[in-house]
Amino acid sequence: MPCSNFLRIVSEQDGREACNFIHAAGPSKVVITSINVDGKLLLIGSHQKEKGQPPEQFRIPIPKIPAYFTGTGDLMTALLLGWSNKYPDNLGKAAELSVSSLQAVLVRTVGDYTRAGHDCQSSSLEIRLIQSQDDIRNPEITYRAEIYN
């Protein structure tokens, strides 16, 4: 459920508070996949393992890739779902694997389009899923979750 429909998130703290708000409605796991804070993208994750207990929260800084893509939200959702099923008690690891996979796919996509002579900022690029199978199935973790204290 997009938080932007009912919560305005303009800071990292807003993102953490939005996670707490959503936890109060019932879900034990919350991931905000892209918050633009001071020109940088952040993923914020939160896992409340037991009701009434404070959630474990983390962030993953994500570098912006100067291009427009089609399908990134769907891919990120699928990756998070898959890795969360494999690591049900470790949302941070699931998010690391998901972000690392997605970024590898996007880098490959930009490389392919650039080599073909396309301007990656002028139109939306269709992500290279088939060519990126290895990055999806067995990603190298290049983006790490930073735990909030």
> Per-residue pLDDT tens for 54-113?
999 999 999 999 899 999 999 999 999 999 999 999 999 999 999 999 999 999 999 999
Q: Where in the sequence numbering do the catalytic residues fall?
A: 74
Residue ranges and CATH numbers for the domains of the chain are 3-147 (3.40.1190.20)
pLDDT at 1: 47
Q: Is the dihedral of CA 73, 139, 35, 16 positive or negative?
A: positive
CA–CA separation, 50 and 107 (whole Å): 38
pTM equals: 0.91
CA–CA separation, 22 and 61 (whole Å): 22
Helix, strand, coil percent content, the chain, rounded in steps of 5: 45, 20, 35
Q: What is the mean pLDDT of the chain?
A: 93
What one-character DSSP code corresponds to residue 121?
Answer: T
